[in-house]
């Protein structure tokens, strides 16, 4: 059990670690050594990371990998991926290679509008509120002119403000529903600053609106915040080819296409499958979101809400055979940025964006959607053919060998041995034990 502490954030890093060792590890300094071993010897770089968040004690590494051979809209990309799950990058690369020989991926951005709300209570006369909103709307637009300047230069800004009556859901609940274009920025700070300003201006102007009674004048703002539900910020990615072209030495194209479509149909009707199906999509997508310094929690929340938009949680991907052509596609909401936030701060994010040839936000939306689609293709392809464990355990073998403290020589031998033997934890232990005898 940890102890209550006050003024903790004022301690320096070493003091924080010492406190931790005393309070959570009964004074065992081995844990201090582990934490220190992850500090970067470049003190400037370390300081940069320390200052991203509060109470930093060390760095937490995740592997940074690349998946080559992604042909997207006739351009070849190498995709940076940050993820810990062993088989994800290999699966993405396989899918990229599979589609490279079949015309590659096509992607397009369908819309880029983001949104946020000022949520407020109003228990007075709705008609008066509507009249007030009409009058105050230009003032609201004007109130953000200063911080909109930069955004406007980059082609973004406020698009519209609507008064929405939500009384049918919650008595007295209204909102100012505001829509924005944020160009290459994710725009969270811009949107939230605008919303907070709208709330202030709205309240102030209401006090001066003579048609309101005294109680109506005192509009009660509950909160002002952007929404991570962005169904108007949509990207679509797709692959297609003649069904015959799907034939490989392992399977017949027609059989594969039919079974693939059946798997997608199951993910459409069965939420238990849909969640895992979509998790597979997010394996690829999140890895690019992380590598490019975007907010994976926002993306996750928005994507899964979108997957439930009909009131039924369902697959994010679709597949069909039309005539003699197999088509597989995804439509997904992605509010991301290539400027601002971590994109300009984290040196590895700059590298990731460099690997992608410095895309703008629309291009990055396309790349992310393609990676999600590729990942889903790879997963479903494995599931309906060999099963996923074969590939998964092959990739996981290295983790097991590391757990067993295998030497380089033992690892090399094990990799050769398990090329033709089913990998399991037990099998790996007995193989290493047999080597060590
Ligand atoms: C594992 O991380 C992801 C999969 O389960 C996805 C799927 O089942 O489609 C393989």
CA-wise closest residue to 306 among 342, 328, 274, 283: 274
**Amino acid 394: pLDDT:** 78
Annotated catalytic residue within 203, 279, 304, 413: 279
Distance 350 CA to ligand 1 centre (A): 30
What is this structure's pTM? 0.92
**Amino acid 96: pLDDT:** 98
pLDDT of 378 higher than 80 = yes
pLDDT of 331 higher than 90 = yes
**Amino acid 196: pLDDT:** 98
Q: Is 295 designated active site?
A: yes
Count of Cβ atoms closer than 10 Å to residue 302 Cβ:
21
**Amino acid 337: pLDDT:** 97
For 172-207, what is each residue's pLDDT tens digit?
Answer: 999 999 999 999 999 999 999 999 999 999 999 999
**Amino acid 308: pLDDT:** 98
Separation of CA 169 from chain center = 30
Distance 424 CA to ligand 1 centre (A): 18
Over residues 10-16, the mean pLDDT reads: 96
pLDDT of 2 higher than 80 = no
**Amino acid 213: pLDDT:** 98
**Amino acid 65: pLDDT:** 98
| Substitution site in 265, 270, 279, 382 for ligand 1 pocket (most atoms within 8 Å of beta carbon) | 279
Residues 6+ apart with CB under 8 A from 301: 228, 229
pLDDT of 217 higher than 90 = yes
d(CA 75, CA 93): 16
Question: Same CATH topology for 64-111+231-386 and 114-226?
Answer: no
Partner residues linked to 119 by β-bridges: 175, 223
Express as a percent the part of the chain with pLDDT over 70.
100
CA-wise closest residue to 293 among 356, 231, 218: 356
pLDDT of 388 higher than 90 = no
pLDDT of 341 higher than 90 = no
CA-wise closest residue to 305 among 230, 366, 232, 372: 230
pLDDT of 1 higher than 80 = no
Question: Tokens 């929404």 appear where?
Answer: 227
Judge contact between 307 and 278, C-beta under 8 A: yes
d(CA 346, CA 64): 13
Count the alpha carbons within 13 Å of 365 in the hemisphere toward its beta carbon. 27
For the chain, the average pLDDT equals: 96
CA-wise closest residue to 373 among 436, 257, 280: 280
CA-wise closest residue to 125 among 205, 213, 220, 218: 213
Instruction: Domain 64-111+231-386: give its CATH code.
Output: 3.90.770.10
Q: Is 162 designated active site?
A: no
Name the residue ranges covered by the structural domains of the chain.
8-50, 64-111+231-386, 114-226, 392-436
For 112-153, what is each residue's pLDDT tens digit?
Answer: 999 999 999 999 999 999 999 999 999 999 999 998 999 999
**Amino acid 275: pLDDT:** 98
Atom 10 of ligand 1, nearest CA residue: 379
Separation of CA 193 from chain center = 23
Query: Would you place residue 390 in the very low, low, confident or very high pLDDT band (cuts 50, 70, 90)?
Result: confident
Query: Would you place residue 420 in the very low, low, confident or very high pLDDT band (cuts 50, 70, 90)?
Result: confident
User: Positive or negative CA dihedral for 152, 155, 157, 158?
Assistant: positive
Count of Cβ atoms closer than 10 Å to residue 314 Cβ:
22
Annotated catalytic residue within 85, 270, 331, 410: 85
Ligand 1 and 280: CB distance under 6 A: yes
CA-wise closest residue to 178 among 229, 117, 233: 117
d(CA 416, CA 435): 13
Distance 264 CA to ligand 1 centre (A): 13
CATH class of the domain comprising 114-226: alpha beta
Q: Which atom of ligand 1 is nearest to the CA of 283?
A: 2
Angle of CA points 413, 418, 422, to nearest 5°: 155
Ligand 1 and 279: CB distance under 6 A: yes
d(CA 174, CA 165): 5
Count of Cβ atoms closer than 10 Å to residue 322 Cβ:
9
């Amino acid at each position: 059990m940890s102890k209550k502490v006050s003024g903790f954030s004022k301690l320096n890093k070493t003091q924080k670690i010492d406190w931790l060792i005393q309070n959570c590890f009964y004074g065992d300094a081995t844990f201090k050594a582990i934490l220190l071993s992850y500090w970067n010897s470049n003190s400037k770089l370390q300081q940069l990371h320390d200052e991203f968040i509060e109470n930093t004690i060390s760095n937490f590494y995740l592997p940074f990998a690349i998946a080559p051979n992604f042909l997207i809209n006739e351009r070849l990309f190498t995709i940076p991926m940050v993820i810990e799950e062993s088989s994800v990058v290999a699966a993405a690369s396989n899918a990229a290679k599979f589609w490279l020989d079949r015309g590659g991926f096509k992607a397009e951005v369908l819309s880029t509008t983001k949104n946020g709300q000022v949520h407020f209570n109003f228990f007075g006369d709705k008609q008066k509120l509507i009249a007030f909103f009409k009058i105050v709307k230009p003032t609201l637009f004007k109130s953000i002119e200063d911080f909109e300047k930069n955004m406007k230069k980059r082609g973004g800004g406020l698009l519209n403000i609507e008064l929405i009556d939500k009384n049918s859901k919650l008595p007295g609940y209204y909102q100012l529903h505001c829509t924005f274009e944020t160009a290459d920025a994710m725009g969270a700070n811009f949107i939230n600053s605008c919303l907070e300003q709208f709330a202030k201006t709205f309240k102030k102007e209401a006090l001066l609106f003579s048609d309101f009674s005294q109680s109506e004048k005192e509009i009660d703002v509950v909160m002002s915040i952007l929404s991570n539900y962005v169904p108007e910020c949509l990207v679509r990615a797709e692959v297609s080819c003649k069904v015959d072209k799907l034939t490989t030495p392992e399977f017949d194209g027609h059989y594969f296409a039919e079974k693939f479509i059946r798997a997608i149909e199951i993910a459409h009707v069965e939420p238990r499958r849909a969640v895992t199906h979509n998790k597979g999509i997010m394996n690829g997508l999140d890895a690019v979101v992380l590598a490019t310094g975007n907010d994976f929690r926002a993306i996750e929340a928005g994507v899964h809400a979108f997957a439930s938009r009909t009131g039924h949680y369902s697959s994010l991907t679709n597949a069909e055979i039309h005539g003699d052509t197999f088509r597989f596609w995804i439509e997904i909401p992605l509010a991301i940025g290539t400027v601002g936030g971590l994109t300009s701060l984290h040196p590895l994010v700059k590298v990731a964006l460099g690997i992608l040839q410095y895309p703008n936000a629309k291009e990055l939306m396309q790349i992310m959607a393609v990676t999600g689609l590729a990942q889903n293709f790879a997963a479903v392809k494995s599931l309906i053919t060999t099963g996923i464990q074969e590939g998964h355990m092959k990739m996981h073998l290295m983790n097991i060998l590391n757990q067993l403290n295998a030497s380089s020589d033992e690892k090399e031998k094990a990799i050769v041995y398990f090329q033709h033997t089913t990998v399991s934890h037990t099998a790996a232990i007995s193989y290493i034990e047999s080597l060590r005898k």
